[in-house]
Amino acid sequence: MFKTVSSDLMGRKIEIRQLMVLAWPIMIAQLAQNSMGFVDTLMSARAGSEDLAAIALGTSLWIPIYLAFSGILMAVTPTVAHLVGAQKNIETPSTFQQGIWLAFLLGILSFILLQNTDPLLSILSLEASLHDKTKRYLEAISWGFPALMLYQSIRGFSEGFGKTRAIMKIALLALICNIPLNYIFIFGKLGLPAMGGVGCGWASAIVMWVMFFTGIGYTRWSSQFKPLPLWRPWHRPQMVSLIQLAKLGIPIGIALLIEASMFSVIALLLAPFGEITLAAHQITISYTGMVFMIPLSIAMALTIRIGQLQGSGQSNQARYAAMTGIGFTLIIALVTTLLTILLAKQITQLYINDTEIINLAVLLLMIAALFQFSDALQVSAAGALRGYKDTFIPLLLVFISFWVIGLPAGYLLGLTDFIRPAMGAAGFWYGLLIGLSAGAVMLMTRLNRVSKHAQKFAHHTGSSNPH
């Protein structure tokens, strides 16, 4: 018995090590990308409050497009991971090229959307100068979106091979480039006119092209990919392959959009409560978003790991990896929960000194601490399901948990006296807790079913792919 327990512990330790090898570079890459937004906010604020407002408004418009389209391109990762696991590396260039074609189409579409935001901005009834700056900021950053989408496809391909360190290095390079470029364009250096917040758009666009060209260099000359004919010969779009990628990726993109849009809706519903409530809400979102990078990175690693194991026919090991990874995220959630509860006041004081805002933010952080477990469970389960190429049902479950359960519960608790006296922002965060908990239960149930089905299918047919 002790020998069996010892063997199981050793197996889990090895599996966690495998996941962390994949996850920690992803985590740093995600943090680097988030830091670019922080740098934009910090530097544009020095140009003036209107420039900061233009960036904030513009970002709220391009982020949903980025999340939806990059989510679609996430389909490249599990597709490649399955081929790598099956030792069919020679077939991966086809997926790579079709992913590039799909990214090109999405890049052009995003460019067109961001170049034509004037009707949407007009609906918002902004002051003329703010309207103009926001429009020009979006037009500027739109020039980088084709490159950003193409890079996302390259990133997905590299991650499918389990090569995450290169992606981390490219993200760090982008952050390093972003700071001086912002300085040059915002404040008008090297003979250029000072552009204020609009300069952030041009700086970001250039950084997106830097990431893309660096990605090209990496795929052409790295020892891992040099033997593969990724760029030559180049093949035309293959409708069947594009449809397969889109069928797998569109649910991922919509799921990301659903989650992000809910936070925007909550902010709008809280607007009547005033600046203090909105500030406390924003602080809580900022902190929880940063903490969320940890389970998200493990979830992305699970997609890669399970995809490769499924491709190699190791369905038992894939299920083992999924459950081990989820258990590990729960341990991390326990740590982040305790730290959040113990340091809530100190965390809020990093953002602001206003006592009233701090008191409300501390309350919201206490609630947010409670859903660390649910959040970790739902995101890691979703990541594992992507490794199994299961994305449509998880999309429905995410929609139910956020929009059918979470947001209505938050509305009832936050804005009505139906259950108890209206709780304001706290009610919405309790709604998030309820929705995330429901989502965690549903996604874990789905993962259990899918992983067991894959095991049975592999046992009966000798193949791990039930599709």
Side chain identity, residue 21: V
Burial class (CB in 10 A: 0-12, 13-18, 19+), 372: buried
What is the residue-averaged pLDDT of the chain? 89
Q: In this structure, which amino acid lies at residue 133?
A: K
pLDDT tens-digit profile of 143-162? Answer: 999 999 999 999 999 999 99
Q: Is residue 75 helix, strand or coil?
A: coil
194-219 mean pLDDT: 93
**pLDDT band at residue 264 using 50, 70 and 90 as cut-offs:** confident
Alpha helical stretches, state H, 161-238: 165-187, 197-221
Cβ atoms of 464 and 312 closer than 8 Å: yes
Return contacts of 211-214, CB within 8 angstroms, 24+ apart.
Answer: 211/147, 211/148, 211/151, 211/170, 211/171, 211/173, 211/174, 212/147, 212/148, 212/150, 212/151, 212/154, 213/147, 214/170, 214/173
Q: How far apart are the first and last CA of the chain?
A: 38
Q: Tell me the pLDDT tens digit for each residue of 152-192.
A: 999 999 999 999 999 999 999 999 999 999 999 988 888 88
pLDDT value at residue 57 = 80
For the chain, give the percent of residues with pLDDT over 90: 62
Q: What's the half-sphere exposure (Cβ side, CA atoms, 13 Å) at 422?
A: 8
| CB contact at 8 A, 140 and 132 | no
CA distances from 262 to 205, 435, 448 (A): 27, 11, 27
Residue 461: predicted pLDDT: 62
Average pLDDT score over residue span 72-84 = 96
Report pLDDT for 287.
Answer: 85
**Cα gap 430→369, rounded to integer Å:** 11
Q: Which two tokens stand for residue 288?
A: 């929880």
- Per cent of the chain over pLDDT 70 is 96
In the predicted structure, residue 262 carries a pLDDT above the cut 90: no
Domain boundaries, the chain: 22-237, 251-467
Does 318 or 285 have the greater pLDDT score? Answer: 318
Residue 11's CB: how many other CB atoms inside 10 A? 13
Based on its alpha-carbon atoms, the radius of gyration of the chain, rounded to whole angstroms, reads 23
Which of 431, 433, 402, 404 shows the shortest CA–CA distance to 416?
431
